[in-house]
Amino acid sequence: MDFTEEQLRRYSRHILLPEVGGKGQKKISQAKVFLVGAGGLGCPVGYYLAAAGVGRIGIIDNDTVEISNLQRQIAHNTKRIGMPKVISAKQTFEELNPDVEVVPYKDKLTTKNILDLIKDYDIVVDGSDNFSTRYMVNDACVMLKKPLVSGAILRFEGQVTTIIPEEGPCYRCLFEEPPPPGLVPSCQEAGVLGVLTGVIGSLQATEVLKIILGKGELLKGELIIYNALRMSFRKVKVPKNPDCPMCGSHPTIKELIDYEEYCSLQAH
Amino acid sequence: MQPDKRLNIKGEICPYTLVKSKLAMEDLDVGEVLEILLDYPEAINSIPKAMQNYGHTVLNVEKINDTDWVIIIRKEVKD
């Protein structure tokens, strides 16, 4: 293992773990992870993955930093209001760890660009805040057989599941279709406890590292639900749906669906 | 006994004495032996203890002169 003296010190607490060691740390440094969103979840996921030394972190978000983000989006700060979130995230992560290359995409993730964007990454992390993106990311990951760590938050509750295409269920095995527009409120409407994003994002980052290392048990076929008010974790088993329209034995979805169009049409 | 690998970590302090020893062990196959040369007194206890926790066997801990020690470890478990 050819670590520099600085890397040896930076990653010493990882190297000492039998489950990581120098070999695991090398795997981490060679890993390429794509983050969907540089917001509440993308910030802590990216922060911990950068700290861990993940070699390349791609991150897509079309928004700029707003003051209302700063209650939870820990990669940004007050001076960066108005700056594209992906640029702010890149600065924060690379300042934390210069070993890490952060590739920012200030863009909207769409059915047109998603396959091309994620194809060169090993793992995808969904920290998006809307159902159209969530389903699109799931479908794209199933199509390309990319591991996906999906996280979601609202108010005081969050959930995480890990999708390993062909091995376990996909997001559509859990919930076949997105809910009708307006049924589930957004954080913007319903609020979110800022620190909740740290808990859920940290769980997602943990899953990513376990996938990279090939150690431990993943949340494959399981949904973990955290309630901050009750301070409880609940695990729910999610079986693979043999009739899943995406990953079942006779899939009906053959191309990516632009639900945003569908949702906005429904709303009007 | 002829070690399969020698590691000189004189001048290194904890916990990097252990970090470097562990990395050196990872390069060995099970059954092979590492000889560590060091001069940091606290590591004389901490390295053998940690190596045992990793599942390896401490074959010898020996003071060889006024400042230096040698620790000999046999790798017992795959990483």
DSSP conformation letters of A169-212: --HHHH-SSPPPTTSSPPHHHH-B-HHHHHHHHHHHHHHHHHHH
pLDDT-based confidence at A262, cuts 50/70/90? low
Q: Respond yes or no: is residue B44 known to be catalytic.
A: no
Please indicate whether, in this complex, the C-beta atoms of B22 and A3 are within 8 angstroms of each other. Answer: no
Q: What is the CA radius of gyration of chain B?
A: 11
Find, in chain B, the residue whose alpha carbon is nearest to that of A17. Answer: B54
Reported as a single tens digit per residue, the pLDDT across A132-142 is 999 999 999 99
**Counting Cβ atoms within 10 Å, is residue A229 exposed (0-12), middle (13-18) or buried (19+)?**
exposed
Domain boundaries defined on chain B: 5-74
Mean pLDDT of all residues in B58-73:
97
Please indicate whether, in this complex, the C-beta atoms of B79 and A8 are within 8 angstroms of each other. Answer: no
By Cβ distance, the residue of A12, A18, A23 closest to B19 is A12
pLDDT for A261 equals 55
Q: Domain A12-267's class?
A: alpha beta
Answer for the pair A203, A223: CB distance below 8 angstroms, yes or no. Answer: no
Q: Which chain A residues are within 8 Å of B78, Cβ to Cβ?
A: none
pLDDT at A263 over 60: no
Reported as a single tens digit per residue, the pLDDT across B23-63 is 999 999 999 999 999 999 999 999 999 999 999 999 999 99
pLDDT at A105 over 50: yes
Among residues B8, B13, B14, B62, the one annotated as catalytic is B14
pLDDT at A187 over 80: no
Please give, rounded to a whole number of angstroms, the shortest distance from the CA of B79 to a CA of chain A: 7
Q: What is the mean pLDDT of chain A?
A: 94
pLDDT at A268 over 60: no
Strand extents, DSSP E, B1-79: 5-8, 33-38, 57-63, 69-74
pLDDT for A50 equals 98
Please indicate whether, in this complex, the C-beta atoms of A1 and B26 are within 8 angstroms of each other. Answer: yes
Q: Which chain A residues are within 8 Å of B19, Cβ to Cβ?
A: 8-9, 12, 15-16
By Cβ distance, the residue of A9, A12, A23 closest to B26 is A23
Reported as a single tens digit per residue, the pLDDT across A115-169 is 999 999 999 999 998 999 999 999 999 999 999 999 999 999 999 999 999 999 9
pLDDT for A116 equals 98
pLDDT for B48 equals 97
Reported as a single tens digit per residue, the pLDDT across A2-43 is 899 999 999 999 999 999 999 999 999 999 999 999 999 999
CB atoms within 10 A of CB A187: 17
Reported as a single tens digit per residue, the pLDDT across A77-97 is 999 999 999 999 999 999 999
By Cβ distance, the residue of A8, A9, A21 closest to B79 is A21
Yes or no: is domain B5-74 CATH 3.30.110.40? yes
Find, in chain B, the residue whose alpha carbon is nearest to that of A12. Answer: B19
Answer for the pair B33, B73: CB distance below 8 angstroms, yes or no. Answer: yes
How many whole angstroms separate alpha carbon B23 and alpha carbon B34? Answer: 11
Domain boundaries defined on chain A: 12-267
- What ipTM goes with this model? 0.92
How many whole angstroms separate alpha carbon B49 and alpha carbon B73? Answer: 11
User: Which residues of chain B from 57 to 76 reach within 8 Å of chain A, CB to CB?
Assistant: none
The tokens for A202 are: 């940290």
